[in-house]
Amino acid sequence: MNNCVLMAEVVQAPQLRYTSDTQTPIAEMAVQFEALRDGDPPESLKVVGWGNLAQEIQERYHVGDRLIVEGRLNMISVERPEGFREKRAELTAQRIHLLGGGESIVSSAESEPTGKRDQPAASQSPVASSAPTPAQPKAAEPPSPTEADLDDIPF
């Protein structure tokens, strides 16, 4: 199953547009997140929301907001002015949680181009408390990967 969770910062204000056939709202915004390796520049990604989620994205999120975005990662081809096609990653949002805000918005799982309208979910807390209770011992954290471990990962 293709499901991604990403913590990022909005770097380009959401833009709202509509499909030509069914007038389904689509919001697009650029987000930025830290690179995998120290010293590398931050990475950016386009986040897309459909239906009611698109309208909520456009109304509620602004440049500088820190978010947790849940959704599907897609690869799209883009025609470059230089005459070649380039592949880019794009995240189709299903849920968005504002860090420090306490509100989140949720899309139905299959609300994309079918024209089906999705409904925002009731307000939920985006981050649960991670402090252990007396009956719940703290789990040991796995060791952080070394740079040599990261070099072995095929990208």
Look at residue 29 in the predicted model and tell me its pLDDT.
Answer: 95
Which residues share a beta bridge with 97? 68, 104
CA 24 vs CA 60, 75, 132: distances in Å: 19, 22, 44
Cα–Cα distance measured from residue 108 to residue 96, given in angstroms and rounded to the nearest whole number: 12
CA 79 vs CA 29, 69, 83, 144: distances in Å: 19, 27, 7, 39
The boundaries of the domain holding residue 19 are 4-151
Look at residue 100 in the predicted model and tell me its pLDDT.
Answer: 78
CATH of the domain at 116: 2.40.50.140
Look at residue 36 in the predicted model and tell me its pLDDT.
Answer: 84
Look at residue 2 in the predicted model and tell me its pLDDT.
Answer: 84
Q: Which residue has the higher pLDDT, 136 or 68?
A: 68
Number of domains comprising the chain: 1
Task: Give the helix, strand, coil percentages of the chain, each rounded to 5.
Answer: 10, 40, 50
Cα–Cα distance measured from residue 26 to residue 15, given in angstroms and rounded to the nearest whole number: 8
Contact 33, 51 (CB under 8 A): no
pLDDT surpassing 90 at residue 16: yes
Look at residue 72 in the predicted model and tell me its pLDDT.
Answer: 94
pTM of the model: 0.62
Look at residue 153 in the predicted model and tell me its pLDDT.
Answer: 46
Look at residue 114 in the predicted model and tell me its pLDDT.
Answer: 41
What is the 8-class DSSP label of residue 47?
E
Can you give 10-44 as a three-state secondary structure string? EEEEEEEEECCCCCCEEEEEEEEECCCCCCCCCEE
Among 28-37, 52-61, 92-101, 106-115, the least confident range = 106-115
* Structural tokens at position 80: 């470059």
Q: Residue holding tokens 């204000």?
A: 13
Confidence bin at 80 (pLDDT 50/70/90): confident
Q: What is the mean pLDDT of residues 49-53?
A: 94
Q: What is the mean pLDDT of residues 89-117?
A: 66
Cα–Cα distance measured from residue 128 to residue 137, given in angstroms and rounded to the nearest whole number: 16
Q: Which residue has the higher pLDDT, 41 or 2?
A: 41
Average pLDDT, the chain: 75
* Structural tokens at position 6: 């990403």
